[in-house]
Structure 1
Amino acid sequence: MTVPTKEFSFGMPWEELYGYSQAMRVGETVYVSGQLSHDQKGAFVGADDFGLQVTTTLANLDLVLEHFGASRRQIVETTVLVRNLRENFDTTARLHAAYFGEHRPTSTVMGVSDLALPDQLVEIGAVVRLDVEA
Protein backbone atom coordinates (compact mmCIF):
# COMPACT_ATOMS: atom_id res chain seq x y z
CA MET A 1 0.00 0.00 0.00
CA THR A 2 1.36 3.39 -1.00
CA VAL A 3 0.57 6.48 1.05
CA PRO A 4 0.20 9.75 -0.87
CA THR A 5 2.49 12.64 0.06
CA LYS A 6 2.33 16.37 -0.56
CA GLU A 7 5.03 18.95 0.21
CA PHE A 8 4.62 22.64 1.05
CA SER A 9 7.21 25.41 0.96
CA PHE A 10 7.10 29.19 1.35
CA GLY A 11 9.67 29.65 -1.43
CA MET A 12 12.30 30.99 0.97
CA PRO A 13 15.95 30.82 -0.14
CA TRP A 14 16.97 28.67 2.83
CA GLU A 15 14.54 25.91 1.77
CA GLU A 16 16.57 25.29 -1.38
CA LEU A 17 19.89 25.87 0.39
CA TYR A 18 19.13 23.35 3.16
CA GLY A 19 17.04 21.05 0.96
CA TYR A 20 13.80 20.76 2.93
CA SER A 21 10.08 21.54 2.89
CA GLN A 22 8.17 23.59 5.44
CA ALA A 23 5.76 20.69 5.77
CA MET A 24 5.01 17.31 4.31
CA ARG A 25 1.67 15.58 4.33
CA VAL A 26 1.94 11.81 4.55
CA GLY A 27 -1.52 10.28 4.44
CA GLU A 28 -3.54 12.07 7.11
CA THR A 29 -0.49 13.36 9.03
CA VAL A 30 1.27 16.66 8.35
CA TYR A 31 4.82 17.02 9.68
CA VAL A 32 5.69 20.70 10.04
CA SER A 33 9.34 21.73 10.05
CA GLY A 34 10.51 24.12 12.72
CA GLN A 35 8.94 27.49 11.98
CA LEU A 36 10.72 30.72 12.76
CA SER A 37 10.08 34.44 12.82
CA HIS A 38 10.16 35.78 9.25
CA ASP A 39 7.88 37.70 6.94
CA GLN A 40 6.73 36.33 3.59
CA LYS A 41 9.63 38.02 1.81
CA GLY A 42 12.12 36.13 3.98
CA ALA A 43 13.16 39.01 6.23
CA PHE A 44 13.77 38.03 9.85
CA VAL A 45 11.31 39.62 12.30
CA GLY A 46 11.86 40.53 15.95
CA ALA A 47 15.57 40.58 16.64
CA ASP A 48 15.93 40.95 20.43
CA ASP A 49 12.14 40.67 20.93
CA PHE A 50 11.36 37.16 22.13
CA GLY A 51 7.59 37.65 22.36
CA LEU A 52 7.38 39.03 18.82
CA GLN A 53 9.45 36.12 17.54
CA VAL A 54 7.08 33.60 19.16
CA THR A 55 3.93 35.26 17.83
CA THR A 56 5.39 35.62 14.31
CA THR A 57 6.55 32.00 14.40
CA LEU A 58 3.06 30.85 15.38
CA ALA A 59 1.57 33.01 12.62
CA ASN A 60 3.81 31.18 10.14
CA LEU A 61 2.60 27.89 11.60
CA ASP A 62 -0.95 29.12 10.90
CA LEU A 63 0.00 29.69 7.23
CA VAL A 64 1.18 26.08 6.97
CA LEU A 65 -2.04 24.85 8.59
CA GLU A 66 -4.09 26.98 6.19
CA HIS A 67 -2.34 25.42 3.19
CA PHE A 68 -3.46 21.97 4.31
CA GLY A 69 -6.95 23.08 5.37
CA ALA A 70 -6.11 22.27 8.99
CA SER A 71 -6.85 24.02 12.27
CA ARG A 72 -4.89 24.47 15.48
CA ARG A 73 -7.15 21.86 17.10
CA GLN A 74 -5.65 19.26 14.76
CA ILE A 75 -2.12 19.85 16.03
CA VAL A 76 -1.29 16.81 18.17
CA GLU A 77 2.31 17.67 19.04
CA THR A 78 4.66 20.64 19.15
CA THR A 79 8.39 20.81 19.57
CA VAL A 80 9.63 24.17 20.84
CA LEU A 81 13.32 25.05 20.75
CA VAL A 82 14.27 28.10 22.83
CA ARG A 83 17.52 29.95 23.32
CA ASN A 84 17.96 31.17 26.91
CA LEU A 85 15.14 28.92 28.10
CA ARG A 86 15.35 29.96 31.77
CA GLU A 87 14.92 33.59 30.78
CA ASN A 88 12.22 32.89 28.17
CA PHE A 89 10.23 29.97 29.62
CA ASP A 90 7.36 31.98 31.12
CA THR A 91 6.79 33.88 27.87
CA THR A 92 7.04 30.64 25.88
CA ALA A 93 4.46 28.94 28.11
CA ARG A 94 2.07 31.90 28.11
CA LEU A 95 2.10 32.38 24.32
CA HIS A 96 1.91 28.63 23.59
CA ALA A 97 -1.11 28.30 25.89
CA ALA A 98 -2.78 31.40 24.40
CA TYR A 99 -2.25 30.09 20.86
CA PHE A 100 -4.01 26.80 21.65
CA GLY A 101 -6.71 28.01 24.03
CA GLU A 102 -8.53 24.98 25.47
CA HIS A 103 -6.77 22.56 23.09
CA ARG A 104 -3.83 20.78 24.71
CA PRO A 105 -1.48 19.03 22.26
CA THR A 106 1.54 17.15 23.50
CA SER A 107 4.61 19.35 23.59
CA THR A 108 8.32 19.18 24.17
CA VAL A 109 10.20 22.37 25.01
CA MET A 110 14.00 22.34 24.93
CA GLY A 111 16.62 24.91 25.71
CA VAL A 112 19.24 25.15 22.98
CA SER A 113 22.52 27.01 22.71
CA ASP A 114 21.97 28.18 19.14
CA LEU A 115 19.51 28.13 16.24
CA ALA A 116 19.90 28.52 12.46
CA LEU A 117 19.89 32.33 12.29
CA PRO A 118 22.05 34.60 14.46
CA ASP A 119 19.11 36.57 15.97
CA GLN A 120 16.75 33.59 16.17
CA LEU A 121 15.53 32.83 19.70
CA VAL A 122 12.75 30.29 19.03
CA GLU A 123 11.73 27.58 16.57
CA ILE A 124 8.46 25.63 16.66
CA GLY A 125 7.69 22.39 14.82
CA ALA A 126 4.42 20.46 14.87
CA VAL A 127 2.66 17.26 13.95
CA VAL A 128 -0.89 17.63 12.64
CA ARG A 129 -3.53 14.93 12.18
CA LEU A 130 -6.05 15.84 9.49
CA ASP A 131 -8.38 13.05 10.58
CA VAL A 132 -8.83 14.59 14.05
CA GLU A 133 -12.02 16.60 14.53
CA ALA A 134 -11.30 20.29 14.00
Structure 2
Amino acid sequence: MPIHDRFTSVPNVAPGNGYAHAITASGRLAFVSGQIAVDADGALVGAGDLGAQTRQALTNLHNVLRELGADWPEVVKLTWFVTDVSDLPALRAVRDELIRPSLGELPNPASSLVQVASLFRPEFLVEVEAVVALSE
Protein backbone atom coordinates (compact mmCIF):
# COMPACT_ATOMS: atom_id res chain seq x y z
CA MET A 1 0.00 0.00 0.00
CA PRO A 2 1.52 3.38 -0.99
CA ILE A 3 2.21 5.85 1.78
CA HIS A 4 1.36 8.76 -0.49
CA ASP A 5 -1.24 10.03 -2.95
CA ARG A 6 -0.44 11.93 -6.10
CA PHE A 7 -2.73 14.75 -7.24
CA THR A 8 -2.20 15.08 -10.97
CA SER A 9 -5.59 16.48 -11.95
CA VAL A 10 -6.94 19.47 -10.02
CA PRO A 11 -10.11 21.37 -10.94
CA ASN A 12 -9.42 24.85 -12.36
CA VAL A 13 -5.66 24.25 -12.67
CA ALA A 14 -3.97 23.41 -15.98
CA PRO A 15 -2.64 19.84 -16.05
CA GLY A 16 1.00 19.41 -15.12
CA ASN A 17 3.29 18.20 -17.87
CA GLY A 18 5.18 15.30 -16.32
CA TYR A 19 4.62 16.13 -12.63
CA ALA A 20 1.97 15.92 -9.91
CA HIS A 21 0.52 19.14 -8.52
CA ALA A 22 0.90 17.71 -5.02
CA ILE A 23 2.02 14.56 -3.24
CA THR A 24 1.05 13.57 0.27
CA ALA A 25 3.65 11.78 2.39
CA SER A 26 2.56 9.32 5.07
CA GLY A 27 -0.86 10.91 4.82
CA ARG A 28 0.20 13.96 6.86
CA LEU A 29 2.42 16.11 4.63
CA ALA A 30 1.76 17.30 1.11
CA PHE A 31 4.39 18.77 -1.15
CA VAL A 32 2.79 21.06 -3.73
CA SER A 33 4.61 21.62 -7.00
CA GLY A 34 5.47 25.14 -8.05
CA GLN A 35 2.44 27.00 -9.33
CA ILE A 36 2.75 29.65 -12.01
CA ALA A 37 0.52 32.28 -13.60
CA VAL A 38 -1.51 30.17 -16.00
CA ASP A 39 -5.27 29.82 -16.10
CA ALA A 40 -7.12 26.50 -16.29
CA ASP A 41 -6.47 26.38 -20.05
CA GLY A 42 -2.72 26.90 -19.61
CA ALA A 43 -2.71 30.51 -20.86
CA LEU A 44 -0.41 33.07 -19.24
CA VAL A 45 -2.15 35.54 -16.91
CA GLY A 46 -0.61 38.96 -16.24
CA ALA A 47 2.16 39.31 -18.81
CA GLY A 48 4.84 41.61 -17.38
CA ASP A 49 2.91 42.16 -14.13
CA LEU A 50 4.36 40.50 -11.00
CA GLY A 51 1.27 41.31 -8.92
CA ALA A 52 -1.13 39.76 -11.43
CA GLN A 53 1.10 36.73 -11.89
CA THR A 54 1.38 36.27 -8.11
CA ARG A 55 -2.41 36.44 -7.82
CA GLN A 56 -2.88 33.70 -10.44
CA ALA A 57 -0.12 31.49 -9.01
CA LEU A 58 -1.66 31.76 -5.52
CA THR A 59 -5.13 31.10 -6.95
CA ASN A 60 -3.77 27.92 -8.53
CA LEU A 61 -2.05 26.97 -5.29
CA HIS A 62 -5.29 27.55 -3.37
CA ASN A 63 -7.16 25.29 -5.81
CA VAL A 64 -4.59 22.55 -5.15
CA LEU A 65 -4.94 23.09 -1.38
CA ARG A 66 -8.71 22.66 -1.60
CA GLU A 67 -8.25 19.45 -3.58
CA LEU A 68 -6.07 18.22 -0.71
CA GLY A 69 -8.80 19.13 1.79
CA ALA A 70 -6.64 21.94 3.17
CA ASP A 71 -6.54 25.74 3.23
CA TRP A 72 -3.97 28.47 3.93
CA PRO A 73 -3.65 27.74 7.68
CA GLU A 74 -2.31 24.26 6.85
CA VAL A 75 0.51 25.67 4.69
CA VAL A 76 3.71 25.39 6.74
CA LYS A 77 6.24 26.52 4.11
CA LEU A 78 6.17 28.58 0.93
CA THR A 79 9.08 28.77 -1.47
CA TRP A 80 9.02 31.62 -3.95
CA PHE A 81 11.06 31.89 -7.14
CA VAL A 82 11.09 35.33 -8.80
CA THR A 83 13.05 36.69 -11.72
CA ASP A 84 13.38 40.19 -10.21
CA VAL A 85 13.11 41.10 -6.53
CA SER A 86 12.81 44.83 -7.26
CA ASP A 87 8.98 44.54 -7.35
CA LEU A 88 8.78 42.47 -4.16
CA PRO A 89 6.18 44.85 -2.60
CA ALA A 90 3.69 43.79 -5.32
CA LEU A 91 4.19 40.12 -4.45
CA ARG A 92 3.83 40.79 -0.71
CA ALA A 93 0.68 42.87 -1.19
CA VAL A 94 -1.06 40.08 -3.10
CA ARG A 95 0.21 37.43 -0.67
CA ASP A 96 -1.13 39.37 2.29
CA GLU A 97 -4.46 40.09 0.58
CA LEU A 98 -5.09 36.44 -0.32
CA ILE A 99 -3.50 34.53 2.58
CA ARG A 100 -3.57 36.75 5.69
CA PRO A 101 -7.38 36.90 6.15
CA SER A 102 -7.68 33.12 6.58
CA LEU A 103 -4.77 32.89 9.05
CA GLY A 104 -6.38 34.91 11.83
CA GLU A 105 -3.88 35.14 14.69
CA LEU A 106 -1.49 32.65 13.06
CA PRO A 107 1.74 34.05 11.62
CA ASN A 108 2.49 33.67 7.94
CA PRO A 109 4.02 30.27 7.09
CA ALA A 110 7.77 29.79 6.91
CA SER A 111 8.99 31.22 3.63
CA SER A 112 11.99 31.40 1.33
CA LEU A 113 12.38 33.66 -1.68
CA VAL A 114 14.97 33.04 -4.37
CA GLN A 115 15.79 35.31 -7.29
CA VAL A 116 16.48 33.21 -10.37
CA ALA A 117 17.85 34.11 -13.79
CA SER A 118 14.66 32.85 -15.40
CA LEU A 119 11.83 30.39 -14.98
CA PHE A 120 11.01 27.68 -17.51
CA ARG A 121 9.53 30.26 -19.92
CA PRO A 122 10.82 33.85 -20.02
CA GLU A 123 7.35 35.41 -19.63
CA PHE A 124 6.89 33.89 -16.17
CA LEU A 125 7.96 36.18 -13.32
CA VAL A 126 7.03 34.09 -10.26
CA GLU A 127 6.56 30.50 -9.16
CA VAL A 128 5.46 29.39 -5.68
CA GLU A 129 5.53 25.94 -4.10
CA ALA A 130 4.27 24.80 -0.71
CA VAL A 131 4.59 22.21 2.03
CA VAL A 132 1.26 21.51 3.70
CA ALA A 133 0.56 19.78 7.04
CA LEU A 134 -2.72 17.95 6.49
CA SER A 135 -5.20 17.29 9.27
CA GLU A 136 -5.48 13.70 10.43
Give the TM-score normalised by structure 1.
Answer: 0.86
Count residues with an aligned counterpart. 127
Deviation at 1:98, TM superposition (A): 2.5
Equivalence map 1:11-30=2 (5 Å): 12=14, 15-16=16-17, 19-26=18-25, 27-30=27-30
Matched residue type, 1:7 = R
Per-residue deviation, residues 69-128 of structure 1 (Å, max 9, x unmatched): 10100000000011111x221112222223221441000011111001220000000000
Verify: 1:99 aligned to 2:115, yes or no.
no
- Gapped regions of structure 2 (runs ≥ 5): none
Give the TM-score normalised by structure 2.
Answer: 0.85
Cα pair 1:35 1:58 within 8 Å, conserved:
yes
Matched residue type, 2:110 = T
Equivalence map 1:80-99=2 (5 Å): 80-85=80-85, 87-99=86-98
Q: Distance in 1 between matches of 2:46 and 2:128?
A: 15
Verify: 1:118 aligned to 2:117, yes or no.
no
SS of 2:46's equivalent in the other structure is coil
Verify: 1:73 aligned to 2:73, yes or no.
yes
Of all paired residues, the percent bearing the same amino acid is: 32
Deviation at 1:3, TM superposition (A): 5.8
Cα pair 1:10 1:40 within 8 Å, conserved:
no
Equivalence map 1:38-57=2 (5 Å): 38-57=38-57
Name which of structure 1's ranges 101-110 and 27-36 shifts more when overlaid on structure 2: 101-110
Matched residue type, 1:64 = V
- Gapped regions of structure 1 (runs ≥ 5): none
Deviation at 1:4, TM superposition (A): 2.1
